[in-house]
Structure formats: C-alpha cells, structure tokens
Structure 1
Amino acid sequence: MNFFERQAAARRSSSRLVVLFGLAVLGIVFAVDFAAYLVYGIGEDPLPGERAALLFTTTVLTLGVIGLGSLYRIASLRGGGETVALQLGGVPVSADTQDFNLRRLRNVVEEIAIASGVPVPKIYVLEHEAGINAFAAGYSPSDAVVAVTRGALDKLNRDELQGVVAHEFSHILNGDMRLNIRLMGVLFGILMIGLIGRKILLHGSGRGRGAGAILVAALVAMVIGYIGLFFGRMIKAGLSRERERLADASAVQFTRQTDGLAGALKKIGGLDEGARLADRNDAEEVSHMLFGDGVGFSGLFATHPPLLERIQALEPGFRSEQLETLHRKWMDVPPNGLEEDVQLGLAPKGAGRLPSETTTFAVTPPMVVAQVAHPAPDDYKRADAIVGTIPAEVRALARRRDTVMPLLLALLLDDDKRLRTLQREEIAARLGLAMAEDASQLRAQHLADLHAALRLPLASIAFPELRLRPRPELDVFLDTVEAVVHTDGQVSLFEFCLARLLQVQVRESLDPSRHARFGRTKLTGVKREVATLLCVVAQCGHDNEGDARAAYLKGIERVLQHDHLPYLPRKEGVLALDAVWAPLDALDPLAKQAVVEGLVATIGHDNQVTVAEAELLRTICAVLHCPLPPMLERA
C-alpha cells in the first residue's frame, strides 16, 4: 500500500473502533441491567412498569458514566502527544543538550524527519525506564512527540536506535498515531465503572447501615469493570498487532537494512528488563502505541506480534536458541550502545550531495505518489547532506528561543529591496523594531544565498523551538507572517506556501485535537478548488500563457479527466489559493492522491522539473498533509 491507501485504511480503522466501542458499551449496559434486575428481583415481584423504569434508569446512568468518562479523557488529551509524554514522566530533550546520547538521538530524529518531509517532532526521554521502548504520540505531525526510554538510549547502537525511531515515524506518517491517542480517550469510558468500584473498595464504604449494600455494589462494579477491561484489551489488540507488523516493515523500507531493527528486538528479548515499563497502569493505557510490549500481554490480549516472530520476519534463520545465547552473554556484560557505535564505525555519514539549483530532472505522477511518506536510502543521504550543508551557525539559530522567529521571518523577506523595506515595516509594527532588524540582518548574513532545497528543512528544524513560544506570541507571529507575505500582493508561490505551512503547523500544534481528522470529501465536491490550484501553479511556473495552459490541461486531465474545466488565469495570483487549502485538505485520502498526481503532471508536463519546482511541490504537499521526501529525482 502507498501512503494514501494506508491513510484510507486508517480511516476505516477509526470506523471499526466506533463499532467495537459500541459493542463494548452494549455488553456493559447489559451486565449492569442484569445485575440490577437480579438485585431488584430478590424481594417481592415488582410491577412490570417498575422493572422497565429500573432498567431504563440503569441504562441511562451507565451510558452517562461511560460517555462522561470518555469525554473527560478525550478532553485531558487535547494537548496531543506532549500530554502523553508528560503523563509517562517524559523529560524534553533540549536543542543544546551536551549529553552525547541525547545529541545522537536528536540527530537521528532530525535526519528521519527531514528524509520524511515532516516537521521535526518534540523529543522526550523516559529517564526512569530501564527497558528498551519508545512511542510516537499526537494527533498530527505538527504536534507529534517521539519518546524513547533511557534504556533504549544506553543499550542501542545508532543503527538500532534509527530502526526504532523509523518504526515510530511510520506511525506518525500512516495515521496510526491519531488513532492510538483517540483509542486512549474512548477506552477510558468503558473502564469507568470498574474504576469507580475499585475506588470505593480501596477507600472503604464506612460502617453505617448501608455499608454492606455499598460494598456489594462496589464488588459488582468491579466485576462489570472486568468486562470493560476485557473489551478494552481486545479492541487494542485487534487494532494494534497488524499495525506493528506494518511499522516494522516500513522501518526496514525507510532504512533499507534489517540489522538495526532486528538488533533492537534481540536486545529486548535478551535482556531481563525487556521492553517493560515500570508503572503497569500507565503502561497498559499506552500499550497499543509502544514499540515493544510494555506490559507482558500474550495471546488474545497481545498488542504486538510475538517477539520471535518479529525478529524472524527480519532474519528468517533466527532461532529461539540464539536468543538464549544472547541472554547469557548480556547477563555477564550488558550491551552499551555508544561502545558499539565506536566498534562498528556508526558515525553519521555525509554521503549525500545537493543538486545544483539549475539541475532539471523528470518525474511522473506514480513515481511521486509512491514516495509520499516513504523515504528511501537516497533520502537519508540527501537529509544528511542537507543538515551538513546548512551552516552550523544557522542550525544553531533555528534551535534558539530568541532567534527562531526572526530566522523564519527572514526566510520570507523578498529579494526586491523596496518590497523588503515594506515587509520590515510590517514586522516592526507588530513585533517591534528589534525583531525587524534581526530578521533583516539574518537574511543578509545567512540566508541571501541559501540553496532552495534548504529552506523547508531549515523551517522544519526551527519548528520544535518555535512552538514552545507562549500562545499570545505565536498568534502575533502568525499575524506578522500573513502581513509579510501579503505586503503588496506580489507574492511568489513558494513564499505563499511556506507561510501557509507555518500557519498550518503552528495552528495544529496549538490545538492538536481540533485538527485531527481523516478527510471524507470526494473530488466531485472540490472541482473548482482543484482547478484553481492547478491554474495558479501553471501560471506561476510559466511566463507564456500557452505553456501555462498546456501545463494546466495536463494536470486537470489527470485529476478530473471526465470534466471539461477550461484554463482561466486567476487575476489575484497566489492569493486565490487562500480559499482552496481547507477544502482540499479535507479530501478523502484516495482523492487527495489524485490531486497530488495532478500537481506532478502540471509541474512536470515538459519533463523538466527544477529544484525550485520540486521544493514548491514538497511545500504544497506538506500543506495538504502528504509529506514528500527531499529527493524526487529518482530513476
């Protein structure tokens, strides 16, 4: 499956979750009603109307408890991935950390993020967890968090750590992360009755006349709670196991080697700590989103395939006896990831090269669609080259709290001196003269000659630090971005899209749960928006109207081949795109695939795609939540 097919499958899983949750609720309601019926029927025979009233009351109360429990937990998770990481005791990894293990982790995460075409997620470490584990959490790539345990940092070498992180990025890219966090909220509701009974038993029921009845009710609630627990575990296991297999396969496709991921799984199986988390309650709630089984479930309740099966999928000849041998070896000398890096020569490599800005190449719609959210080894080399080519002082500016805003504003400043002066005035009016001066100086000193392929990755590196700013500052910043882009209405398509991307990512990080959705709109409902997007892209890429029309027709034929939508140049240029982003982003995944194919056909209609056009395509795809890796010029 490609990215769009996996997104469609994730949407179907969301629907399946609703059905399974409904069945679980019916089971709990039936159990409560049955218990009430038995208790009420012990004495004299009640009248039929009284029995019906009783069952109606217990049904309503049960549904209320379940519904309120789910709504409470969903509301508590509105903060997205960071909320989950903090709940589990995660500690954020600062951009300027001096801990070599943490720097190695940050380098691996940034490399995979750039190779995947998504913003660099926040990074957390579960410092008090000795087991080898990790998870990705959040509603969208813009609020994603990647967290690893201290055990993973200390015991895994760089290849193994990369395999684990690539596995988690698969969950980010394929929509699993969104489903997982919703699952946490929904399942909490069906556990509520059991939690209430447990709380009453733990804190006592007093010694009054009704103490015995309260105790019996609490015991009944506990028994019914186990029904909810049973259904919850079954739902998590049913939705999680196959996704873990796919994430393992995706991690191998990302890194193009099995040794790293297989090595991490062997260490989980060969070490006493394994993948277990210390707090069993927290571990159970997030068990479906962990890299390894953090609780110890097996059989029907297992959220992960058996460990040996996962290893054998990567190394078919591996046997359980070899795992025992590793266990005995590591009992005497536990593994040390950094020492293994030295022995294996796993220092970051600089094998990739950036293409010249005048380079052209050909792409086809199927070729680009296959690359969406699917980085290959060349992308990792390109990501390494990108990080290595961005000057160290510029990377440092992107990771500093006081310079991240002026740096991003500097990316949007125009080459035209007169227009740049007007843009500085807009910045000064909203964020102060000092911010305007800093942005202007940063552009002149560091960004004037920045390679086109470096602008989007630089924004990606800056994003984690940007979203740490207070919300009022971010609101003013976004207002300033809009003003800078629209200063005189003469805006390049890339500047417009980059500004829009900043808007999308920051807005999503501020209120992640609000923006978490799988689109359902069909192409028939957005014909005008598709035509506007392809028309503007064709206009901006060609000075000659005949060439622009040919490019547009090539793209529209790919998306809406049965409709005759003529080429109508938009007088407002890129500003016409303001009205298209939301409808196009709400498309069904497979419909969105068709739009991406149309974009590729428009940009590449003459078989001559420039680096700037490729970066433009990547930016538009990022705005539409279809992340493209950095290297499109593949054979």
Structure 2
Amino acid sequence: MNFFERQAAARRTSTRLIVLFALAVVGIVAAVDLAVLLVFGGGMGALVVTSLLTLAVIGFGSLYRMASLRGGGEPVALQLGGTQVPEDTTDIQLRRLRNVVEEIAIASGVPVPKIFVLEHEAAINALAAGYSPSDAVIAVTRGALEQLNRDELQGVIAHEFSHVLNGDMRLNIRLIGVLFGILMLSLIGQRILVYGRFGSRGRGAGGVVVAALIALAVGYIGLFFGRMIKAGVSRTRESLADASAVQFTRQTSGLAGALKKIAASDGGSTLTQRGDAEEVSHMLFGDGVGFSGLFATHPPLLKRIQALEPSFRAEQLEELRRRWRAKPPGSQDDALSAGTTGERRSPLPILPVGLPGAAAALDLTPPMVAAQVAQPSSEDYQRADSIVAAIPEQAGQLARQRDSVVPLLLGLLLDPSPQIQARQRTEIEARLGADMAATAQRLKGESLDALHPMLRLPLAAMAFPVLRLRPRPELDTFMDTVHAVVHADGRVSLFEYCLGRLLEVQVRESLDPSQYARFGRRKAGSVKQEFATLLAVAAQAGHEDAAAAQRAYLAGMQRVLPRDHVPYAPPADGVLALDAVWEPLDALDPLAKQVMVEAITAAVSHDGRVTVAEAELLRTICGALHCPLPPMLERN
C-alpha cells in the first residue's frame, strides 16, 4: 500500500475502533446491570440509573484522558520518564541518535520531531507519539542507545517514522484516551478497596465493599476488551512498519539485528514501568509488557525476524542468547555487538549523491510523484546526508539555536525585491522590533540568498524543533508576523507564500495538536473551485506564456476532474487567492488527495521541464496539505 491507501486504511481502522469501543461499552453496562440485579435486586428504574452512571463514568474517563493528551506526543514521552535530548548535546550516543533522526526526517520531508530518551529503561525499545508530524516525538530507551549499533538504531528509527508518516500515531494516541474510559470502573474499584481498609466500618461499609468488588470485576471485563482492541489494531501495522523500514534503509540487517538483540537479551524490550508500558504497549517498537497470544500487540519476534531473513530458525535464537550471555554488550567482534560509535556499517556501498544545479530540469511524472509521498527510499536517505552536509555550517548552527531560529525563518520568507523586502521589514519591526528585522535581513543577505533551493525546506525542518521550544505567546506573535510578511505585497512569490503557509500549519498544529488531527472525508467533486484556484496559480507560476499556463491548468484538471469543465480563470489577486483553498483541500479523503498530488504534478510538469525551484514548490504545496514529499523527486 502507498501512503494514501494506508491513510484510508487508518481511517477505516479508526471507524472500526469506534465500533469495538461501543461494543465494549455495551458489554460493560450489561455486566454492571446484571451484577446489580443479582446482588441488590431492584426494578427497571434502578437498572436505568445504573446504566446511566456507568456510561457517565466511561465517558468521563475517556474525555479526561483525551484532554490530558491534547498536547500531543510530548505528554506520552514525559509520562514514561523521558528526558528531551538537547540540540547541542555532547553525549556521543545522543549525538548519534539526533543525527539519525534529523537525516530520516529530512529524507521523509517532515519537520524534525522532538527527541526523548527514557534514561532509566535498560531494555531495547522506542516509540513515536503525536497527532501529526508537527507535534511528533521520538523516544528511545537508554538500553537501545547502548546496545544497538548505528545500522540497528537507524532501522528502529525508520520503523517509528513509518508510524509518523502513515497516520498510525494519530490512531494510537486516540486509542489511549478511548480505552482509558473502559478501565475506569476497575480503577474506581481498586481505590475504594484500598481506602476502605482505613475507612469507617459502619453499617454501610459492607455495601460499599460489595460495590467496589463489582466495579473491580466488571473492570477486568473492560481490561479484557481493551487488550483485545489494542492487539487487533496494532499487530498488522507493526508488520507494515517493519516492511517500510526495510524499504527505506534498503537493508534488513539493521532492523533484524535490533530484533535479534531484543530476543537474545534478558531484558528484551520489557519496560520497568509496567502500568505505563501497558497503556502505550501498542505504540512501542517491541512488546514492552510481555503479552502473547490474543493480547499480543506485536507479531512474535521470531516471525518478525523471519519476515526479514526467511532462513532464520527458532533454534538460532537459543544460540544468540548463549552468545549474548557469553559476550555481554560492549564487545565489538560479533553480530550482537553493541556499538556506541557514530559509524554506519552497511552491506551496500553508500554512493555520494550530489545536489542538482539550481537551473537543472528534472524528469517527473504524476504517478511517480504520488507514489513517493511519505515513502522515502534509501536514495532519499543518502540524499539527506548530502543535504545536511551541503547546508552552510553557519546556517545549520543558526537553525539549532533558540535566539537565532526566528530571524532565520523570517529571512527565508523575505522577497528578493528591495521594495517588497522593505515592506516586509516594516511588518517585522512592528511586531518583533527593529533588531529582529535587521537580523532577518542580514541573514537573508549573508546566508540565505545563495542557498540552494533544495536546502530551504530541510533548513526549516531542522529549525522547527527549536522554534517549538519558545513560549506560546511568542509563537503566536511569530505566526502573526509570518502572515504579515507573506501578505506584505500582492506580488509575493508562490514559493514564499507556500513556505509561509507551511510554517503556519506546523506551528499551529504544534500548539493545538489534537484540534487539527483528523482524517479527511471530502470528495474531489465537492471542492471543484478550490482545485481550479490552486491549479491556476501553480500553472501560472510555472509558465510565463498565458497559453502554456492554460494548457498546464487543463492537464491538471483532467487528472482530478476529468468529467467536469471548470474554465481557466487566473485569480485577480494571484497567490493570495490560495488563502481560501487550503482548509477544504486538506479535508479531502486520502485517495482524493492522491489524485490531487498527481494533478498538481501534471500542471507543473506539463511543459516537459520541471526546474528544481518548481520541484521545491511542489514539495511545499504537498507539505502544507499533509502529503510530505522526500527531497529527491527524481530517482535513478
């Protein structure tokens, strides 16, 4: 399945989750009613009251837990005891982790997520949490950092990025909130029994204890349903994430090596905080609790290894365990070495991948580009290495520093025209002061004017985690400034406009992740005018001749709405007309978005020549509409 098919499958799974949750609630309410009827008796009125109270407890529990997770992935990492990895860390293992995460994020076309380490966990495990790439976190145990070499760590992180890209995180975090409600009765029963030991032994104490025991017993029914739902939702997606990681890294040894080390080591992937681990077990790289059979959230380790290495046999696991015990982590002379250096070891030669010239023409087709959305390959990973190396050292340092990240991003938005740039500077001065405006303009001239077009989005991706660290009022002011800079003059370029829009989307979603996380359901026929506006603007930007622009527009419309005739009418306000199209187009059904990407590509490439700047424009538009494209659109 490609990205759009997986998004559609995730939406169907979300619907199935609601159905399963409803069935679990019905079962719990029926069990409570039956217990009350058998123990206390009573008529229909009492059962109605009991049912309503049970529904209220479940509903309150789910709403409370979902509200506690509205901050996205960070609350999940903090709940597990995670410590955020600083941008300027000097720890070798943390530096290696940050380098791997940054490279994979750039290769995937998404912002670099926040990175956490579970310092007190010696097991090998990891997770990705959040509602969208804009608020995603990657958390890795200290045991994984100490016991995995770079190839193995890369395989694990690539597995987690599959969840980031394919909408699994969104479903996973909602699953935590939904399932918490059906566990509420069990929690209430436990608390009553614990505090009941020290409470009153008066006339009503016996009834309270009986009620607590009923709640506890019924709660275990909810626990059973919860574990079954998690197992049913998670197992297939874990297998798909393994396959995606292999496709990305183009080698099985890294991911297979990590799984073998989990199987061979005594600690495996089991976390010490069992209660918290069970709640997030469906989000982990390896089973963090130890469930098997019907409750297993992951396929058996042997099955996962055999999917990567079909010749691997069960008896080899015992040999690996023996070798692990004989040579504890730290030795470097066998397949179970726990390398802590930053060197990459790969069975395939890593070829240098240069950046194309800024005036180069790329050979792109609509189906090819659509197939690449959120599907990075090993070539993209190699290109990410080249991109990181090509970013000027000064610009890279500025992107990682809290005080310089805002003027750097504003500098990317400044127009080449001195007249427009003067108006933009005035807007920055009015909101952030003269010093900020001067710094942004200086960085524009010193570091950003000569920046290769393919380096602008990766630089913004590297800067985003640092930007998110700023207080919310400052981010609100930054968003207002971005909007003002983009709209300072009607002649603003399409790329600058789209980059500004992309920054707005990412900042907005990082501030209120749960509010903007949803699967789209609209069909292409319901947004005809929005399609027409986007394609007209894109065609006009890529073709100087009006007749050629019209032909490009019609080529795009033929892809998305072949049976409809929407005449070519370039909007009078140019790029600013796009303000009205983003929200309706972002609400499209996943499969309709696939057609949309093909339509935009058809319009941009209609003249048979796609420049690097046009390719970056395509990536920016797709990013703003949550269809992330890797940096290497033309593959060998």
TM-score category (smaller protein): over 0.9
Give the aligned partner of residue 199 of structure 1. 191
Structure 2 CA distance for aligned equivalents of residues 596 and 243 of structure 1: 25
Gaps of 5+ in 1: none
Structure 1 CA distance for aligned equivalents of residues 349 and 365 of structure 2: 32
1:314 aligns with 2:315: no
Structure 2 CA distance for aligned equivalents of residues 175 and 339 of structure 1: 32
* 1:595 Cα offset (Å): 0.7
Structure 2 CA distance for aligned equivalents of residues 37 and 315 of structure 1: 56
Which residue identity does 2:24 align to in structure 1?
A
User: Structure 1 pair 370/219, CA: closer, same or farther in 2 (3 Å)?
Assistant: same
Give the aligned partner of residue 332 of structure 1. 326
* 1:332 Cα offset (Å): 2.8
Structure 1 CA distance for aligned equivalents of residues 391 and 344 of structure 2: 29
Give the aligned partner of residue 458 of structure 1. 459
1:302 aligns with 2:296: yes
Contact 2:407–2:439 under 8 Å retained in 1:
yes
How is 1:30-109 mapped onto 2 (pairs within 5 angstroms)? Answer: 30-41=30-41, 51-109=43-101
- Residue deviations 1:143-172, cap 9 Å, x none? 000000000011000010000000000001
1:228 aligns with 2:222: yes
* 1:40 Cα offset (Å): 2.6
Contact 1:341–1:347 under 8 Å retained in 2:
no
Give the aligned partner of residue 518 of structure 1. 519
Give the aligned partner of residue 239 of structure 2. 245
Contact 2:522–2:588 under 8 Å retained in 1:
yes
Structure 2 CA distance for aligned equivalents of residues 343 and 227 of structure 1: 48
- Residue deviations 1:57-89, cap 9 Å, x none? 000000000000000000000000001001110
Give the aligned partner of residue 435 of structure 2. 434
Give the aligned partner of residue 333 of structure 2. none
Structure 1 CA distance for aligned equivalents of residues 462 and 554 of structure 2: 37
Contact 2:151–2:346 under 8 Å retained in 1:
no
Give the aligned partner of residue 468 of structure 1. 469
- Bigger Cα displacement from structure 2, 15-24 vs 199-208: 199-208
1:424 aligns with 2:425: yes
Give the aligned partner of residue 140 of structure 2. 148
* 1:343 Cα offset (Å): 9.6
Structure 1 CA distance for aligned equivalents of residues 201 and 376 of structure 2: 65
Structure 1 CA distance for aligned equivalents of residues 171 and 220 of structure 2: 24
Which residue identity does 1:159 align to in structure 2?
D
- 3-state secondary structure, aligned to 1:338: coil
* 1:569 Cα offset (Å): 1.4
Contact 2:358–2:452 under 8 Å retained in 1:
yes
- Residue deviations 1:289-346, cap 9 Å, x none? 0000000000000000000000000001111222111211221322343357669589
* 1:432 Cα offset (Å): 0.5
Contact 2:251–2:347 under 8 Å retained in 1:
no
* 1:18 Cα offset (Å): 0.2
Which residue identity does 1:115 align to in structure 2?
A
* 1:486 Cα offset (Å): 1.2
Give the aligned partner of residue 207 of structure 2. 213
- Residue deviations 1:239-268, cap 9 Å, x none? 000000000001101111100000000000
Contact 2:407–2:437 under 8 Å retained in 1:
yes
Which residue identity does 2:171 align to in structure 1?
L
Contact 1:399–1:465 under 8 Å retained in 2:
yes
How is 1:571-586 mapped onto 2 (pairs within 5 angstroms)? Answer: 571-586=572-587
* 1:350 Cα offset (Å): 7.3
- Bigger Cα displacement from structure 2, 155-164 vs 210-219: 210-219
* 1:587 Cα offset (Å): 0.3
Which residue identity does 1:207 align to in structure 2?
R
Contact 2:151–2:345 under 8 Å retained in 1:
no
- Bigger Cα displacement from structure 2, 354-363 vs 73-82: 354-363
- Residue deviations 1:11-70, cap 9 Å, x none? 0000000000000000000000001111233xxxx6xxxx11011000000000000000
Structure 2 CA distance for aligned equivalents of residues 335 and 429 of structure 1: 57
Count matched residues: 627
Structure 2 CA distance for aligned equivalents of residues 627 and 438 of structure 1: 30
Which residue identity does 1:233 align to in structure 2?
R
Contact 2:92–2:342 under 8 Å retained in 1:
no
- 3-state secondary structure, aligned to 2:585: helix
1:290 aligns with 2:291: no
Contact 1:350–1:388 under 8 Å retained in 2:
no
* 1:2 Cα offset (Å): 0.8
- 3-state secondary structure, aligned to 1:570: coil
* 1:523 Cα offset (Å): 0.9
* 1:396 Cα offset (Å): 0.9
- 3-state secondary structure, aligned to 2:100: helix
Q: TM-score, normalised by structure 2?
A: 0.97
User: Structure 1 pair 253/347, CA: closer, same or farther in 2 (3 Å)?
Assistant: closer
Structure 2 CA distance for aligned equivalents of residues 355 and 343 of structure 1: 25
- Bigger Cα displacement from structure 2, 67-76 vs 536-545: 536-545
* 1:480 Cα offset (Å): 0.8
Contact 1:397–1:404 under 8 Å retained in 2:
yes
- 3-state secondary structure, aligned to 2:127: strand
- Residue deviations 1:428-469, cap 9 Å, x none? 111011101111111111111000000000000000000111
- 3-state secondary structure, aligned to 2:339: helix
Contact 2:92–2:341 under 8 Å retained in 1:
no
- Residue deviations 1:200-238, cap 9 Å, x none? 112225311111221111111111010000000000000
Give the aligned partner of residue 402 of structure 1. 403
Contact 2:92–2:340 under 8 Å retained in 1:
no
Structure 2 CA distance for aligned equivalents of residues 53 and 481 of structure 1: 59
* 1:394 Cα offset (Å): 1.1
Structure 1 CA distance for aligned equivalents of residues 340 and 476 of structure 2: 46
- Residue deviations 1:506-553, cap 9 Å, x none? 000000000010000111110000010000001111121001001000
Structure 1 CA distance for aligned equivalents of residues 378 and 608 of structure 2: 24
How much identity, in percent, do the aligned residues show? Answer: 69
Structure 2 CA distance for aligned equivalents of residues 80 and 624 of structure 1: 19
User: Structure 1 pair 405/584, CA: closer, same or farther in 2 (3 Å)?
Assistant: same
Which residue identity does 1:125 align to in structure 2?
V
- 3-state secondary structure, aligned to 1:185: helix
Contact 1:132–1:149 under 8 Å retained in 2:
yes
1:275 aligns with 2:272: no
* 1:373 Cα offset (Å): 0.4
Structure 1 CA distance for aligned equivalents of residues 19 and 507 of structure 2: 33
Match of 2:125 among 109, 133, 146: 133
- Bigger Cα displacement from structure 2, 144-153 vs 331-340: 331-340
Which residue identity does 1:174 align to in structure 2?
N
Structure 1 CA distance for aligned equivalents of residues 145 and 214 of structure 2: 45
Contact 1:256–1:377 under 8 Å retained in 2:
yes
User: Structure 1 pair 634/584, CA: closer, same or farther in 2 (3 Å)?
Assistant: same
- Residue deviations 1:562-584, cap 9 Å, x none? 00111111111100000000000
- 3-state secondary structure, aligned to 2:634: coil
How is 1:2-17 mapped onto 2 (pairs within 5 angstroms)? Answer: 2-17=2-17
Give the aligned partner of residue 23 of structure 1. 23
Contact 1:350–1:385 under 8 Å retained in 2:
no
- Residue deviations 1:335-381, cap 9 Å, x none? 34335766958999672210101110221111111100001111111
Gaps of 5+ in 2: 331-337
Q: TM-score, normalised by structure 1?
A: 0.97
CA RMSD after TM alignment: 1.4
Structure 2 CA distance for aligned equivalents of residues 285 and 474 of structure 1: 32
Structure 1 CA distance for aligned equivalents of residues 604 and 542 of structure 2: 8
